[in-house]
Copies of this chain bind each other. A is one copy, B any other.
Amino acid sequence: MARLNSYHLPPDRWPGADGLANLDGPEARHLLGVLRARAGETVRLFDGAGRHGLFEITNVASKAKAELRRLSEVLEPQPLRGVALALGWNKSSRRDWLLEKGVELGALGIVFWQAARSQGEMPREVKESWAEKCVQAAKQCQTAWLPELSLLPGGVEGLLRVAADYDGCYVLYEAAGPQDLLNPQELAGGRSLVVLGPEGGLEEREAARLAEAGFKPLSLGPLPLRWETAALSCLALAHHALLQP
């Protein structure tokens, strides 16, 4: 069977026992307006929180509203292991790109934090457009789980407040030595939080405060990597380690 197009139906709109769902908004406009799907056709819906299934279009109510009936459903268990990246806030064109890669490579979460060298002030709330970017990436790679997006104000202290939610906390820091070489199996052994500075790097006192609080320093080698290369390497290494039998 050729791969079906996927559409996102948020968890609060996922059908209960009757199996009946309504798709509207941009997802419906794409399905009906662009792809001109008709009643009787089958599509894949996913909620980004583990549920996905095949649905039959039972009625096209308008160009932007389809009624569907569930044919089958799979619930994929929540990943208990993997990496959440805590990225120093940047006014970066790379943000959308990293959200996309986070989805593809199975990040548990993407956290933005306000670092001393962050450019600009972080917004107070996660932007709708970031979640949308993640949904688009999930449609492409067919993952069932979207990373959790969050913002941590309060600098390093903000990071310390969430540390207890993870099995291990780490910080990628350029002064880390060869003995601190990132161990993908260790990261993938539980829920790991990996902190990266903003593009200008961490200040020494930030790194010291994190180390003091038990965040382990991580190195990706002796040569300096760009911000997005380091972030992506970290995701790719953990993703690969999670696939080990």
Q: Which residue of B lies closest to A234 (CB)?
A: B236
Asked whether, in the complex, the Cβ of B240 is within 8 Å of the Cβ of A220, the reply is yes
Q: Which residue of B lies closest to A225 (CB)?
A: B104
Asked whether, in the complex, the Cβ of B240 is within 8 Å of the Cβ of A233, the reply is yes
Copy tally for this chain in the complex stands at 2
Asked whether, in the complex, the Cβ of B233 is within 8 Å of the Cβ of A105, the reply is yes
Cα–Cα, bound, A224→B233 (Å) = 18
Asked whether, in the complex, the Cβ of A240 is within 8 Å of the Cβ of B182, the reply is yes
Q: Which residue of B lies closest to A229 (CB)?
A: B104
Q: Which of A218-234 contact B (CB under 8 A)?
A: 220-221, 223-226, 229, 232-233
Q: Mark A180-196, 1 if CB is under 8 A from B, else 0.
A: 01101000000000000
Cβ-neighbour of A243 out of B141, B221, B229 (below 8 A) = B221
Most buried by B among A100, A140, A142, A233: A233
Rounded to whole Å, the gap between the CB of A137 and the closest CB of chain B is 9
* Given A229-B104, A233-B239, A237-B236: A181 and B244 interface contact (C-beta under 8 Å): yes
Binding site for B on A (CB under 8 A): 100-101, 104-105, 140-143, 178, 181-182, 184, 220-221, 223-226, 229, 232-233, 236-237, 239-240, 243-245
**CB-CB nearest 5 A-B residue pairs:** A233-B236, A236-B236, A141-B223, A221-B243, A104-B229
